[in-house]
Amino acid sequence: MVFRTFLLGAAAGVMLVGGTAMAQQAPQDLLPPAASGPRSTPAPQPSQTVDQAFGDIKAQPGEVVQALPPPPKPILARWKPAQARELVSFAEGIAAEGLDPKDYKLAELRAAMAAGEGEALDTAASLTFQYLVEDLRDGRTPMDDRRQWFVVDPDPDRMPTQVLLDRAVGGEGAAKVLASLNPVNPDYARLKAELAAATDPARRKLVRANMDRWRWLPQALGRHYLVTNIPEQKLRLTVNNRIIKSYRTIVGKPGRTATPQLAEMVEAVIYNPTWTVPQSIVKGEGLGAKVLGNPGWARAAGYKGTKGANGAIYVVQQPGPGNSLGLMKLDMPNEHAIFLHDTPARGLFAQDNRALSHGCIRVENARELAMTMSMLGNMKTKEDIPAIQAEVSEITASGEYTRYALTNQWPVYLTYFTMASDVDGQMRSFADIYGRDAPVLASFDQPRQANRARKTDEAVVEIVDDLKTT
C-alpha cells in the first residue's frame, strides 16, 4: 500500500510523543489549573449597595417595571506597595510582548502608590493588572478589527481575571502570573525574538500584529491538531508542536469567498462524497436544465437531477473521480459550510498563488491525509494500523459514500498569519491576500479599547459555491 511507510512513521511519531499512546486520547487541555496557588484575602466590596447605586424602582399605575440587573462585581484585590512596584516594573517592559506601556494607566498607579496602601492603590493596581491580563490573554485587537474572525477564545473562562489577580497578590507575584499567559506555541517566541531584533518601524508593527493574532487563539492549541495558515496556503498535521506532515492547499479567492478564520473539530472522514450542487449553479448557471435535458451527458458527468413539486430542480453529483469534492472530505460541522476536501483539479497545486476556491480548503494528497486521519483518529496501538488500512482501502475501492467516524476527534484551526514560521521553520512574511492586516495595524495606533466583546457580530457568509471547477 502506497501509504504504509508514511503512516507507520506518522503513527510511530504520535505514539512515542511523551512516551504515551497519544492516539488513544482526545486533545488534552495543556493549561495549568487556573485556581492553583495561594489565594488572597477577599477582595474589597463595592462601597454602594445595589439599591443605593440604582435608587428606588417604583411602578406607576398600569406600568410594568423590570428591575435593573446588579452591576458586575469589580475586579479588585488588596495590594501592598512592593507588589505594586513589581506590577509597574512588568508593565514598563511590556513592549517586549508587542504591547505599549501607555495603555496600562501607569501614571495613575504611580500616583496611588505615592499615597500608600489603601483603596486608591487597590483600585489603580487592580485595573492595571486587569488590562494587562486582557491584552496578554485575549489579544489587544478589538473584535471589529478582526475581519472574518469566528473563534471564541476559551481562555477567559479557563483563566478568569479575578482568579489570576488573587494568585498575583496571594504569593505568586504579578510578574510570574502575567508572564504565564503568553501563547505556548513556539511561533510566538520566534516572533518575540524577531521583534527584539527588528529596527524598521513597519516591520515591528507587522510583528506586533501577528503576535497579537496568537493571543486571539487558545493559549495552547492542544497536543495534536491540524492548522492551516491561509496566506501561506499550507496545511500542517501537528503533534506536540512538531509538524508530522504538511500539505499544499487551495484557499478562497479574495472577496466574498475569502476563507474565514475558524476553530472546529474534525469528527469524521467522508470517503467517496456526494456533492449537492447549490442553486446558484443549478439555476443561476443553468446546470439543472442541462442535467434534465441531456440525461446521457448528466450520467457521464455523474449528476442526478430531480424536479420538485414547486418546479425547483435539485442536482446531486455522485461519488467518483470527477466529483468536485474529489475522493474525500473532512467532516468538521460549522455554520459556514467550510471544510477540507480533495479536488479533481490537482494541477492547480503547482501554482504559487492558490487563492482560487470559493471558500473551502482543497488539500493536495488528500487521500493520504484521509487515510492518516482515519488511522490516527481510531487506532489504540500501531498494531491496529493494518486493519484500519485494509478497511479504508475497501471503502475507497467501493466507490460508495461512507462516513468514517473518528473516535478521537482532531481540532482544526484556520488561521491568518502574515508573518510566521514557514513549514521549514524559517520566519517569513506572507502576502496579505485578503487585506486583513490594515485594521489590525490601525488598532495599535488607537487608544486601548476597554470592555471588548469576546464574540464577533460579523455576518456569517455561508460558502455554497466553493466547488465550481476553477
- Identify residue 401 by its one-letter amino acid code: Y
Half-sphere exposure of 459 (CA within 13 A, CB side): 4
Q: Which of 395, 410, 375, 379 is nearest to 4 (CA)?
A: 375
Task: Name the grid cell of 312.
Answer: 425547483
Task: Check residue 61 and give its pLDDT.
Answer: 46
Task: Name the grid cell of 217.
Answer: 487563539
Q: Which secondary-structure segment (H or E) carries 428?
A: strand 427-429
Task: Check residue 209 and give its pLDDT.
Answer: 98
User: Does residue 53 have a pLDDT over 80?
Assistant: no
Task: Name the grid cell of 438.
Answer: 490594515
DSSP bridge pairs for 245: 237
Q: What is the mean pLDDT of the chain?
A: 84
Helix, strand, or coil (residue 138): helix
pLDDT digits (tens, 9 = 90+) for 212-238: 999 999 999 999 999 999 999 999 999
Distance CA 59, CA 62 (A): 8
The proportion of the chain whose per-residue pLDDT surpasses 90, expressed as a percent, equals: 67
Q: Which residues of 414-444 are buried (b: 16+ CB within 10 A; e: fewer)?
A: bbbbbbbbebeeeeeebebbbebbeebbebb
The proportion of the chain whose per-residue pLDDT surpasses 70, expressed as a percent, equals: 83
Distance CA 433, CA 122 (A): 46
User: Does residue 259 have a pLDDT over 70?
Assistant: yes
Half-sphere exposure of 126 (CA within 13 A, CB side): 21
pLDDT digits (tens, 9 = 90+) for 260-311: 999 999 999 999 999 888 787 888 888 999 999 999 999 988 999 998 888 8
Distance CA 202, CA 106 (A): 26
pLDDT digits (tens, 9 = 90+) for 124-175: 999 999 999 999 999 999 999 999 999 999 999 999 999 999 999 999 999 9
Longest dimension (CA), the chain: 88
Task: Check residue 66 and give its pLDDT.
Answer: 55
Task: Name the grid cell of 326.
Answer: 474529489
User: Does residue 444 have a pLDDT over 90?
Assistant: yes
Half-sphere exposure of 110 (CA within 13 A, CB side): 9
Distance CA 372, CA 367 (A): 9
Q: What is the DSSP letter of 455?
A: S
Distance CA 441, CA 210 (A): 10
Domains of the chain plus CATH, in order, are 221-274+319-416 (2.40.440.10), 280-315 (no CATH)
> Which residues in 89-181 belong to E strands, given as ranges?
none
Residue 28: C-alpha distances to residues 23, 31, 187, 269, 302 (Å):
11, 9, 20, 21, 42
Residue indicated by cell numbers 512538531: 242
Task: Check residue 48 and give its pLDDT.
Answer: 35
User: Does residue 69 have a pLDDT over 50?
Assistant: yes
Task: Check residue 71 and give its pLDDT.
Answer: 65
Half-sphere exposure of 187 (CA within 13 A, CB side): 30
User: What is the reported pTM?
Assistant: 0.81
Residue indicated by cell numbers 470592555: 451
Helical packing angle, 81-92 and 119-138, nearest 10°:
30
Q: How many CB atoms are located within 10 Å of the residue 376 CB?
A: 25
CA 393 to chain centre: 32
Task: Check residue 221 and give its pLDDT.
Answer: 95
For range 349-366, the mean pLDDT? 87
